[in-house]
Amino acid sequence: MNNLCADIGYNSLIKYGEQLCGDHIDVVDCDSENAQILVLADGLGSGVKANILSTLTAKILSTMMSQGLCIDDCVKTVAQTLPVCKERGVAYSTFTVIKLIGNDEAEITEYDNPPVILIRDGKNYELPRSVRNIDGKDIYYSKIDLKEGDIFIAMSDGCIHAGVGEKLNFGWERKDIISYMETFYSVGFTAKTLNTILLDECNSLYAGMPGDDTSAMTVLIRKRCPMNLLIGPPSNYDDRSKMMSLFFSKEGKHIVCGGSTSNIAAEYLGKPLKPKLEFEDSDVPPIAEIEGVDLVTEGVITINKVLTYAKDYLKDNESYSDWSYKRDGASLIARMLFEEATDINFFVGRAVNPAHQNPALPINFNIKMQLVGELADCLKKMGKRIKVSYF
Amino acid sequence: MKITICIGSSCHLKGSRQVVETLRSLIEQNDLKDKIELGGVFCMGKCQQGVCVTVDGEFFSVTPDTVKTFFRDNVQAKL
């Protein structure tokens, strides 16, 4: 077991005029093998029919492969299960499967989707593919050891057809997609952001009206990065130093949220708490500094803002343009938790702040607990490992 | 003279940002930058009485509406 992990981002553009996407992406954890199975399937045609074909294909492949069945069996099952299209007389869905094993190696199985792109050390790296014929279908198979910084991009053909006949004669060719994405290699974007960059470009080549369902899945291989967040004093006054020593003994960066909480942390560390008075063009309170703590912020209002950003990040990520550069507490926490961290430990104190129990204020104890719970759920959906401890 | 203003959750919701900004501009207008130091503080434990402000250690409860009179009576008067 190394200390690498996979940061995964995926999304789809739906063909203009359709309501359902004919591509389907499925990510399944396979605990027994310490593996992750990622499937991108593209169903024949568009709309309902394509949606059913791709969903079936992705689900069959991810379920069977996570149970350790061989690819031959999986492909045969897909071929025998898919309903045959009346008009075209075929049952058809293309697919790409990326199996990440122990974050050491990747097994990639491809059928008729554009070949997976691998950007390694900033440059295109063609996967060592071998072809196998299963039931008359040419299936490409490759296996490669993972390296920190690797970026895998799986696509449906909607990406390489972007702009065809309109802005580009032959669509957005794979080699051009590669050189486009290579330029973002060293910026340090997350998989989700890289994926959004790719799909945004497709969308603009399609002039906002995609001519086909367009999906992409980006996998970024990165080092694990632990992060610890402390919020709220413990419900039992005597547990203060226990909570602090557990928190500060953890590996990784430390974030302290809350006025009283940061006073306790400062006292524990024996360092002064220095609040700043810079409002940073934001509606959240200013941050503070304690030597030995990576970030000190106010509590409930800041976390509430972070939660808003987290929910948006999981949808269309429109607020990225705010939190990606601002210096206020919520933006700083968002960058640390969403982009930097892979494993997050929450230390949540359950003391009730009497001042917050005023019905005139939009903050109270229940809201605080709810915020932390919701934020942890959002972060889980971002693929982070989350542990919450209550005091 | 040192003035500290609480910027914790409770005081923030009661308008500590406006208090800070008003004080800043009053200090500017009266050309008192050399004489007054503004600082933030996290929670003085008197959230019910927010916005919590201290002037050289003495506690005051200020709101965005009373900040101008507070400045006249408790800051300028003592300089």
CATH, residue B54: 3.40.30.10
- Compute and round to an integer the Cα radius of gyration of chain A: 24
The pLDDT, as a whole number, for residue A1 is 55
Given the DSSP bridges, would you call strands A274-275 and A288-289 parallel, antiparallel or unpaired? antiparallel
**Shortest CA gap A301–chain B (Å):** 6
Cβ–Cβ below 8 Å for A275 and B38: no
Confidence of residue A137 (pLDDT cuts 50, 70, 90): confident
Q: Which of B33, B43, B52, B63 is best to mutate for the A interface (most A CBs within 10 A)?
A: B43
Cβ–Cβ below 8 Å for B17 and A288: no
Most confidently predicted of A246-255, B16-25, B53-62: A246-255
**Shortest CA gap B78–chain A (Å):** 23
**Shortest CA gap B46–chain A (Å):** 8
Distance, in Å, from the CA atom of A149 to the CA atom of A125, rounded to the nearest integer, reads: 13
Nearest to A116 by CA among A106, A102, A126, A131: A126
A361 close to B (CB below 8 A): yes
Cβ neighbors of A55 (< 8 A, separation 6 or more) are A24, A41, A43
Task: Look at residue A357 and tell me whether its pLDDT is greater than 70.
Answer: no
Q: What mean pLDDT, rounded, does chain A reach?
A: 90
The pLDDT, as a whole number, for residue A241 is 92
The two three-digit tokens of residue B40, written as one number: 């933030």
Nearest chain A Cα to B12, which residue? Answer: A285
How many Cβ atoms are within 10 Å of B30's Cβ, its own excluded?
14
A362 close to B (CB below 8 A): yes
The pLDDT, as a whole number, for residue A277 is 84
In the DSSP assignment, the letter for residue B62 is -
Q: Which amino acid belongs to residue A335?
A: R
C-alpha neighbours within 13 Å on the C-beta side of residue A317:
22
The two three-digit tokens of residue A178, written as one number: 């590669």
Distance, in Å, from the CA atom of A162 to the CA atom of A148, rounded to the nearest integer, reads: 30
The pLDDT, as a whole number, for residue A86 is 67
The pLDDT, as a whole number, for residue A320 is 87
Cβ–Cβ below 8 Å for A277 and B41: no
Number of folded domains that form chain B:
1
The pLDDT, as a whole number, for residue A271 is 94
Describe the crossing of helices A240-248 and A259-269 by its angle, rounded to 10 degrees.
80
Given the DSSP bridges, would you call strands A385-390 and A343-348 parallel, antiparallel or unpaired? parallel
Confidence of residue A297 (pLDDT cuts 50, 70, 90): very high
Question: φ, ψ for residue A194 (rounded to 5)?
Answer: -60, -45
Look-up: residue for tokens 């020593």? Answer: A245
**Shortest CA gap A303–chain B (Å):** 11
The pLDDT, as a whole number, for residue A386 is 94
The pLDDT, as a whole number, for residue A332 is 95
**Shortest CA gap A386–chain B (Å):** 26
- Please give the CATH superfamily to which domain A4-223 belongs: PPM-type phosphatase domain (3.60.40.10)
A–B interface: beta-carbon pairs under 8 A: 71
Q: Which residues of B touch A288 (CB under 8 A)?
A: 40, 42
Distance, in Å, from the CA atom of A368 to the CA atom of A352, rounded to the nearest integer, reads: 10
Share of chain A above pLDDT 70, in %: 95
Q: How many residues in total does chain B contain?
A: 79
Select from B9, B47, B48 the Cβ nearest to the Cβ of A298: B9
The pLDDT, as a whole number, for residue A85 is 66
**Shortest CA gap B48–chain A (Å):** 5
The two three-digit tokens of residue A307, written as one number: 């939660």
Residue range(s) of every CATH 3.60.40.10 domain in chain A: 4-223
A173-227 confidence digits (pLDDT tens): 999 999 999 999 988 888 988 999 999 999 999 999 998 999 999 999 999 999 9
The two three-digit tokens of residue A324, written as one number: 């990606």
The pLDDT, as a whole number, for residue A361 is 66
Q: Which residues of B touch A260 (CB under 8 A)?
A: 8, 42-43, 45
Helix (H, G, I), strand (E, B), or coil: what is residue B69? helix
Q: Could you tell me how far CA B33 lies from the centroid of its own chain?
A: 15
Question: φ, ψ for residue A363 (rounded to 5)?
Answer: -130, 140
CA angle A13, A15, A21 (to 5 degrees): 65
The pLDDT, as a whole number, for residue B26 is 92
Nearest chain B Cα to A298, which residue? Answer: B8
- Give me the domain span that covers residue B9: 2-78
Nearest chain A Cα to B24, which residue? Answer: A277
A2-6, A213-217, B2-6, range with the lowest pLDDT: A2-6
A29-68 confidence digits (pLDDT tens): 887 788 899 999 998 888 898 999 999 999 999 999 988 8
Instruction: Tell me what ipTM this predicted complex has.
Output: 0.75
Confidence of residue A380 (pLDDT cuts 50, 70, 90): very high
A370-379 confidence digits (pLDDT tens): 999 999 999 9
Average pLDDT over residues A125-148: 91
Distance, in Å, from the CA atom of A233 to the CA atom of A348, rounded to the nearest integer, reads: 8
Select from B8, B40, B50 the Cβ nearest to the Cβ of A277: B40
